[in-house]
Chains A and B, each alone.
Chain A
Amino acid sequence: MENDKKNTTCCCSCSCSSSGILPQNIVHYIEECMQKPHSESYLIQVLHKVQSHFGYLTPEYLQEVGQRMNISSSKIMGVATFYNLFSFTPRGKYRISVCLGTACYVKGSGKLLDQFKEILKIKENETTPDGMFSLECSRCFGACALAPVVVVNDKVYGDVKAEQVEKILAEYGFKK
C-alpha cells in the first residue's frame, strides 16, 4: 500500500476524537460511503480494505471504523468474527492456502496440508516464528479442474503433488 504513514490526528475534517490509525485512502472511502444511503451496508467492504492494508484486523482498527461509520464496536466485532476471511492474527509474508474444497479433497489435498504442517512445523492458521510463512485452509478457489490447488499469496499452483511441497516452499526461500 502506498500510504504507510501513520496519522497522529484525525485526518478528516470532522471533529471526532479518533487517533487516526487508518490510512488516508480508507478514511476517504469511508467518507464516500457515509454520503450514500444505507452507509452501514459498506461495512464489509471497509473491513476488506483495512485487512488488505494491515494484513489483519485488531480491535483498535475496528474501533476507528466504528467511530467513522457510526456503528457500535460490538456490532463490528460481531461482523468481523462471523466471516472466515477476516483474520485477527498477523499473517506471514507468504500466506500459504491449501484448498480443502471437495474436488481438491478427493484428490488428496488433505495430505498436502499434513505435509505443509510437518515441514513448516505449524498448524493451520498459524505463522512460523520468523513471520515468513502462515498456513491456512481454504474452502475452494473455484479452480477445481486443477485440483489439488495450493495458493501462495496470489499465485495459484495447480495439480500439486506431495513431492512438490518442498519445492514450492523453496521458491519462497524456505530452508529446513
Chain B
Amino acid sequence: MPTALEKLQDMRRKAIFRVFENKFRSPIRITVGSATCENAAGATEVYERLQQNIAKHPGMEVMLSRVGCAGRCDLEPMVTVVMHGQIPIKYMRVTPEKVDKIFEEHILHHKVLEDFTMRRSASLYNAQRVVTVCGGKQCFEKHAFDIEKAFLENIQRLGLQDKIILTRSACQGLCQYGPVAYIYPDNVMYQKLTIEMVQQICEEHLLKNHTLGQYTWKGERLANRSFPFFGDVYFFGKQLRLTLRNCGVIDPESIDEYLAVRGYEAIAKILTQLKPQDVINMVKKSGLRGRGGGGFPTGNKWQFAADQVNSQKYMICNADEGDPGAFMDRSTIEGDPHTIIEGLMIAGYAIGANKGFVYIRAEYPLAVQRLEKGIKEAKEIGVLGNNILGSGWNFDIEIRLGAGAFVCGEETALIHSIEGSRGMPTQRPPYPAIAGLWGKPTVINNVETLANLPVIILDGEDWFSSIGTEKSKGTKVFALAGKVANTGLVEVPMGTTLREVVFDVGGGIKNNKAFKAVQTGGPAGGCLTTEYLDTPVDYDSLTAAGSIMGSGGMIVMDEETCMVDVAKFFLDFTQSESCGKCTPCREGTRAMLAILKKITEGKGEDGDMEKLQELGSIIKNASLCGLGQCAPNPVLTTLKYFAHEYKAHIYDKKCPAGVCSALVSYTIDPQKCVGCTACKRKCPVHCITGDPKKPHEINQEVCIKCGTCQAVCKFNAITKS
C-alpha cells in the first residue's frame, strides 16, 4: 500500500506533467492578473483582447492563463509576458489598446515596450543576468554590504557591467545561510558568502557560466517561490512572500498548478508521518500567532481544543474580513484558494476535527466562487472528503456566507452566525475551544494564519521561527492603502519598521505631500505619527505604541487628512456596527460619536476632550467583546497624538486640514478671477453667480463645500480657509 505521501507525490508528478505539457513548454506564456480589483480595473477586457490577438495567429504557441492578485493594485491590470528562456516582463495598467501594441511589438517582434513596463523590468530584459544580494537585517549584520561591494568591484574588473545588473532585496528568509545572493535567470542561490567566494563566483559563474555547486543552497523553500517571478521589481523585492507565495504565480482555478508547487504535500506529510500532537508541537515551536488581530499563539489555542475529549470537534476559517481598508484575506483566497483548504485540513487534523467551515463575507463573490471550485476539485481527486489519500482520515469543508455584520469577526458572534442566528457575541469563558459551535470544541483561525501552516509543515518550524522578532515570528501581510504611492498588498517579515513599509515598499506619500499618520488595525486600532515611524511592526511594539497589529489594514494619511474627522469616521463605523447587546458599547459609542460630531461641526466646547477620554476608558473596560473594547482606540490615540487638532476645532473653530466642511469656506479672490465661468458651470448646487469676464461670487449659505470650484479654477482664484 502506498502511503498518503507517496500517493500525493504520484499525483504531483502527473499534475506537473499536465501543467508542463500545456503551459511551460509553450515558448510564450502570458498571464493576466485576475482578482476583484484587477477585474474592476479592466482585466477581463484585457484577457479577451489577448484571446482575440492569439486567435489571429493560429500557428503560434501561446499559453494564456489567469493568475491571482500579485498585490500591486495601483498598477492593475498587470500582464506578464515570458518568452522562452528570458526574464519575465511585467506590463502595468494594460488596456485593450495596449494589448494590441504589446502583441505586435513584443510577441511578434521581440521588442519590449519599455514605457508600459513596471519599474526596472525593461532594463533587466537586456541584461544577461541579475545578481540580487539579500539586504535583510541578519544578512546585513553578516556584512552583506561588503559582499555587495565585492560583487560590484569584480563585475567592473571583469568588464561585465553592461551584462550584469546588481540589485538588493529584502530578507529572503534564509537568514542562517546568510549572506546570500541570488543569480537570475539561472535560479541559483549562493549561501554563506565571503569576499573570496564572490571573486570566484564572478570569474566562474558570471564570466564562464559554470555554476559553483559547492557554494549553492540546495533546499527548496515554499517561501522563495514568488521571488523568481517578481524579485526584480523593487516593490516585490522588498518583501518576503510566505502566505502570498502563490498569489500572482499560479492559476487559482487550477488544482494541477497548486499540486505542481507542492500543494497538499503538507497534509500528505502529516497524514503519513505525524501524530496530531506532533503537529501541535511544531506549530507551538514555530511561534505562529493568530493573524486575525489578537495575536494569540495558534499552537496553544489548538492544544485547548485537542485536550477536550469529544467525538465531534469543529474547525472554522474566519474569512469575515470586516475591517474597512483591509483586503488581505480576499486576495489570498482569490489568488490561492487551495492553501486555505489545506491549512484548514492541517488544523483540523491537529485538533481532531473532521468538519471545517469557512465563514466568508458575501461581499466577496469571486473569492466564494473560487473557494467553492477549489473544494469541489479537491474532493474529486481525493485530497478532501472521505479516506483522504487512502489514509483513512476524513475531513469535509462547508462554506457559510456572512451578511454584512462587522461584529461577526468576533469568535462567539461568528459561531452564532454559522448556527443561523443573529451574530451577537456571548460571554467568554467558556472559550470556543471548550464549547463552541453547537456546544462542541471549536477552533477559529484567520485566513492568513491558515495560509502559514503548509509553510511551517514543509519548511520546518525552526526555519519559520528564524524569521521575525523575538515574540512575533514569520511575516505579516498588510493592505497598504490611502495616500501612499504604491497601494496594494505587501508581505514583510515581522520587525520591519513602519517607515520601511510606507516609504520603501509603499514608495512614500502621493504627490509629495507630507506624511501625517499611519492607521493600523482598522476600526479597532490607532493612528501613529511620524515619531513612531521607526516602530518595528510586531504585535507587542504596536500595542506599546497605542495601536494594534489588527488584521493588517494599513491606511496612510497625509497633511490633508483631518484626524478628528478620521476618529469620527471610525467611531461612526463601530457605533453603527455595535450589536447592541451590552450597554457600554451601545450607548457609550453613541455618546462619544455625538461629541465628535459636535466638534467637527464647530460646536465643540471646553471639556469635550476630557469627556471623550473618560467615556473611552469606560467603554474599553466594560464592554463585552472585542468590538466594544477596541472601539474607542482611534479616538484615544488621536486625542493623545493629535490633541492640537482637537483644540483647533474646539477653541479656534478651525479645521487645520480643511476637511470639516462646517469649518471651512471657499471664497473667490476678485483680483484673480477672470470670469471664465468654469466654476459656475461645474458647481453642483449652482451657488456661484457672476457674469462672464467679471469676478464671480460664492453664495456661502448654499455652498456645500465640495471643492469642485477650486479644482476646476485655472487661475488659483479660489481659496479655502
Besides A85-B403, A146-B74, A163-B712, 8 new A-B residue pairs in contact (Cβ under 8 A), listed by A number: A106-B555, A107-B482, A142-B364, A144-B479, A144-B487, A145-B76, A147-B482, A149-B40
Expressed in whole angstroms, the Cα–Cα distance for A76 and B224 within the complex equals 49
Q: Which residue of B lies closest to A81 (CB)?
A: B422
Taking CB atoms and an 8 Å cut-off, the chain A residues in 60-81 that contact chain B are 71, 75, 78-79
Taking CB atoms and an 8 Å cut-off, the chain A residues in 80-103 that contact chain B are 82-86, 100-103
Q: B487, A45: Cβ atoms under 8 Å?
A: no
Answer yes or no: B233 CB below 8 A from chain A CBs.
no
Q: B363, A142: Cβ atoms under 8 Å?
A: yes
Q: Which residue of B lies closest to A69 (CB)?
A: B420
A-B contact count (CB 8 A): 162
Q: A145, B419: Cβ atoms under 8 Å?
A: no
What A residues does B684 contact at CB under 8 A?
Answer: 115, 118-119
Answer yes or no: B707 CB below 8 A from chain A CBs.
yes
Expressed in whole angstroms, the Cα–Cα distance for A120 and B74 within the complex equals 30
What B residues does A143 contact at CB under 8 A?
Answer: 36-37, 40, 73, 327
Which 8 interchain pairs have the tightest Cβ spacing?
A: A145-B73, A101-B324, A156-B40, A83-B403, A84-B404, A102-B325, A142-B327, A103-B481
Q: A141, B36: Cβ atoms under 8 Å?
A: yes
What A residues does B403 contact at CB under 8 A?
Answer: 44, 47-48, 83-86
Answer yes or no: B548 CB below 8 A from chain A CBs.
no
Answer yes or no: B226 CB below 8 A from chain A CBs.
no
Q: B401, A114: Cβ atoms under 8 Å?
A: no
Expressed in whole angstroms, the Cα–Cα distance for A103 and B685 within the complex equals 27
Taking CB atoms and an 8 Å cut-off, the chain A residues in 137-165 that contact chain B are 138-147, 149, 156-158, 162-163
Taking CB atoms and an 8 Å cut-off, the chain A residues in 111-142 that contact chain B are 111, 114-115, 118-119, 138-142
What A residues does B323 contact at CB under 8 A?
Answer: 140
Taking CB atoms and an 8 Å cut-off, the chain B residues in 582-624 that contact chain A are none
Q: A107, B400: Cβ atoms under 8 Å?
A: no
Q: B711, A162: Cβ atoms under 8 Å?
A: yes
Pick from B322, B325, B401, B421: contact of A144, CB under 8 Å: B325
Q: A102, B488: Cβ atoms under 8 Å?
A: no
Beyond A84-B403, A84-B405, A156-B39, is A139–B322 a contact (Cβ under 8 Å)? Answer: yes
Interface residue stretch chosen among A7-15, A17-25, A35-43: A35-43
Q: Which residue of A lies closest to B523 (CB)?
A: A102
Expressed in whole angstroms, the Cα–Cα distance for A43 and B523 within the complex equals 29
Answer yes or no: A105 CB below 8 A from chain B CBs.
yes
Q: Would you give 26 A-B contacts (Cβ < 8 Å), ordered by A?
A: A41-B400, A43-B420, A44-B420, A82-B422, A83-B402, A83-B404, A83-B405, A85-B362, A85-B403, A86-B403, A102-B523, A103-B324, A103-B481, A105-B324, A111-B707, A139-B324, A140-B322, A142-B36, A142-B321, A143-B327, A144-B553, A145-B74, A145-B76, A146-B40, A156-B39, A162-B711
Taking CB atoms and an 8 Å cut-off, the chain B residues in 535-565 that contact chain A are 553, 555, 557, 561
Pick from A40, A118, A139, A162: contact of B573, CB under 8 Å: A139
Expressed in whole angstroms, the Cα–Cα distance for A156 and B42 within the complex equals 10
Q: How far is the CB of B506 from the nearest CB of chain A, in Å?
A: 11
Q: How far is the CB of B35 from the nearest CB of chain A, in Å?
A: 9
Q: How far is the CB of A29 from the nearest CB of chain B, in Å?
A: 13
Q: A106, B73: Cβ atoms under 8 Å?
A: no
Answer yes or no: B406 CB below 8 A from chain A CBs.
yes
What A residues does B325 contact at CB under 8 A?
Answer: 101-103, 140, 144
Q: B404, A79: Cβ atoms under 8 Å?
A: no
A residues contacting B by CB (< 8 A) are 38, 40-45, 47-48, 71, 75, 78-79, 82-86, 100-107, 111, 114-115, 118-119, 138-147, 149, 156-158, 162-163
Expressed in whole angstroms, the Cα–Cα distance for A144 and B331 within the complex equals 12
Expressed in whole angstroms, the Cα–Cα distance for A21 and B712 within the complex equals 53
> How many residues on the B side are at the interface (Cβ–Cβ under 8 A)?
64
Beyond A44-B401, A86-B403, is A158–B417 a contact (Cβ under 8 Å)? Answer: no
Answer yes or no: B423 CB below 8 A from chain A CBs.
yes
Answer yes or no: B483 CB below 8 A from chain A CBs.
yes
Q: How far is the CB of B124 from the nearest CB of chain A, in Å?
A: 25
Q: A48, B327: Cβ atoms under 8 Å?
A: no
Expressed in whole angstroms, the Cα–Cα distance for A86 and B423 within the complex equals 14
Answer yes or no: B431 CB below 8 A from chain A CBs.
no
Pick from A40, A146, A149, A162: contact of B419, CB under 8 Å: A40
Pick from B364, B487, B569: contact of A145, CB under 8 Å: B487
Beyond A103-B555, A105-B569, is A79–B362 a contact (Cβ under 8 Å)? Answer: no
Q: How far is the CB of B161 from the nearest CB of chain A, in Å?
A: 37
What A residues does B569 contact at CB under 8 A?
Answer: 102, 105
Expressed in whole angstroms, the Cα–Cα distance for A83 and B438 within the complex equals 21
Expressed in whole angstroms, the Cα–Cα distance for A67 and B278 within the complex equals 48
Taking CB atoms and an 8 Å cut-off, the chain B residues in 354-393 that contact chain A are 362-364
What A residues does B482 contact at CB under 8 A?
Answer: 102-103, 106-107, 147
Q: A106, B561: Cβ atoms under 8 Å?
A: yes
Expressed in whole angstroms, the Cα–Cα distance for A42 and B279 within the complex equals 32
Q: How far is the CB of B704 from the nearest CB of chain A, in Å?
A: 6
Beyond A140-B323, A142-B364, is A158–B41 a contact (Cβ under 8 Å)? Answer: yes
What A residues does B419 contact at CB under 8 A?
Answer: 38, 40-41
What A residues does B421 contact at CB under 8 A?
Answer: 75, 78-79
Q: B483, A106: Cβ atoms under 8 Å?
A: yes
Q: How far is the CB of B541 from the nearest CB of chain A, in Å?
A: 22
Answer yes or no: B519 CB below 8 A from chain A CBs.
yes
Q: Which residue of A lies closest to B712 (CB)?
A: A163
Q: How far is the CB of A112 from the nearest CB of chain B, in Å?
A: 10
Answer yes or no: B330 CB below 8 A from chain A CBs.
yes
